[in-house]
Amino acid sequence: MAATQLPFQTSSSSFSKPLRHSLTRNPFSQNPILPLRPASLKPLVLRAVVSQNPSKSLTQDPQTTPFKHCFSKSSDGFLYCEGLKVQEVIDSVERRPFYLYSKPQITRNVEAYKEALEGLSSVIGYAIKANNNYKILEHLRQLGCGAVLVSGNELRLALRAGFDPTKCIFNGNGKLLEDLVLAAQEGVFINVDSEFDLENIVAAARIAGKRVNVLLRINPDVDPQVHPYVATGNKNSKFGIRNEKLQWFLDAVKAHPNELKLVGAHCHLGSTITKVDIFRDAAVLMVKYIDEIRSQGFQVDYLNIGGGLGIDYYHAGAVLPTPRDLIDTVRDVVQSQGLNLIIEPGRSLIANSCCLVNRVTGVKTNGTKNFIVIDGSMAELIRPSLYDAYQSWFLLLHLMLRFLLLMWLALFVSLRIS
Ligand SMILES: Cc1ncc(COP(=O)(O)O)c(C=O)c1O
């Protein structure tokens, strides 16, 4: 188990190679290298609705394969992690608060995906944004994962952690030219997100002197039925390209055979998805796009269906789809087309392996509200305060007694004052 978040220096990265251009902007863009005009559009008007009968697409009953958790509350009232009393960890560490991770749980999570993917040619690209702890990255790399990156820093971090660049995918709608150049030099796959992004990737390929393997990030316009903040695959999304624009992008790739090699298509519907039939809807649509792409002479071998599998936030015994449920819904679609499957799990690989351990600092009352003050803050965990996300919490027994004592004292003091 690891009980730290390691700081990581990126400024002195050995991967920053000197370049002749300042790269604050695309040096080629004075003379636009792409015909940024509506190309001869051959509209592919495909749109999905959510499957009406999810059970048809599931080949295994999700009720039979619940995810295992490494944290459990014992009858003595204490929290245990892999059989270790969390209180004992608290007593042994010097600095608080801290994140406590279970390495075996991370391994089990990866194994669950690997087992689900058996028989398929695949890449598990861990979405580094879910947790960029360096030790965790090294562990995931040792387990054979690739990495999904959304910034230059994540790219440098992944390279430093030793990820195989050909198992890395550089995503995002605002990728910087200098980072694209690094990705091109290292042979990382790059997702094309927009017209200007494609222009920058072409420029990066020229500067790096390398032909770049690219995937087109297409919005299949499937409603993932999740919080709007984490729904990213619909037609108004800030990510990816509208499916109606596919032909323009195919023409642009054809116009740059020395710079771009189109190897696949990508989509990411959103996060916290709990109905796996949505992934099937998306895969079916994506395969239609791939058919269209192949019919124009491209040899595309990769289908990237992104991340997004939901997790057990509430710890209330909900039965959620497992990696096997997810993969089994798309298996036949992928196999029938002879595609390599890329998946990009983030939270489902890491979230259940970790807890933030805080201590109660004191209790205070303002107005009609009582506050339990702890030594952790939004600096350590921003989600609940950022967008009201639910956070499961657990009060250890002796801390609870301490808390009750403090509450009693506060009440006693306020009675004496009044
Ligand atoms: C492109 C992409 N891939 C993968 C992920 C990881 O998603 P999740 O953590 O829901 O698995 C994200 C999350 O935002 C993403 O944007």
DSSP reduced 3-state for 100: strand
Q: Locate the ligand 1 atom nearest the alpha carbon of residue 308 and give its number.
A: 10
* One-letter amino acid of 404: L
Ligand 1 pocket list (CB less than 6 A): 127, 130, 148, 171, 232, 268, 271, 306-309, 344-348
Q: Which atom of ligand 1 is nearest to the CA of 232?
A: 16
Helix axes 323-336, 277-295, angle to 10 degrees: 20
Which residue's alpha carbon is nearest to atom 1 within ligand 1? 268
Ligand 1 atom 13, closest CA: 271
SS (H, E, C) 19-54: CCCCCCCCCCCCCCCCCCCCCCCCCCCCCCCCCCCH
Q: What is the position in ligand 1's atom list of the atom closest to the CA of 171?
A: 1
* pLDDT value for 34: 56
103-351: CATH number:
3.20.20.10
Contact 325, 343 (CB under 8 A): no
Q: What is the four-CA torsion angle of 224, 227, 233, 235, rounded to 10 degrees?
A: 110
CB count within 10 Å of CB 216 equals: 28
pTM above 0.85, yes or no: no
Centre of ligand 1 from the C-alpha of residue 232, in Å: 9
| CA 87 to ligand 1 center in whole angstroms | 33
272 Cα–ligand 1 center, Å: 9
**Which atom of ligand 1 is nearest to 344's Cα?**
4
Exposed, middle or buried: residue 54 (CB in 10 Å: 0-12, 13-18, 19+)? middle
Q: Which two tokens stand for residue 319?
A: 């039965």
Ligand 1 centre and the CA of 204: distance in Å? Answer: 25
Residue of the nearest CA to atom 4 in ligand 1?
Answer: 307
313 CA distance to ligand 1 middle (Å)? 16
Q: How many helices (H) and strands (E) does the chain have?
A: 13, 16
CA distance linking residue 113 with residue 110, whole number of Å: 5
| Ligand 1 atom at shortest distance from the alpha carbon of 230 | 14
Segment-wise mean pLDDT, segments of 10 residues, the chain, 418 residues:
42 44 70 50 42 37 52 86 92 92 96 98 98 97 98 98 98 97 98 97 98 95 70 76 93 98 95 90 94 97 95 83 96 97 97 92 93 91 83 70 62 53
**Sign of the four-CA dihedral 11, 13, 18, 19:** negative
d(CA 204, CA 26): 8
| Nearest ligand 1 atom to alpha carbon 217 | 1
- The predicted pLDDT at position 220 comes to 83
pLDDT of residue 230: 66
370 Cα: distance to centroid of ligand 1 (angstroms): 37
Burial 109-118 (b: 16+ CB within 10 A, else e): bbebbeebbe
The residues near 171 (Cβ < 8 Å, ≥ 6 apart) are: 148, 149, 150, 191, 193, 217, 266, 268
Per-domain residue ranges for the chain? 68-100+357-417, 103-351
| Substitution candidate for ligand 1 out of 171, 271, 275 with most atoms within 8 A of CB | 271
Whether the CB-CB separation of 242 and 261 falls below 8 Å is answered with no
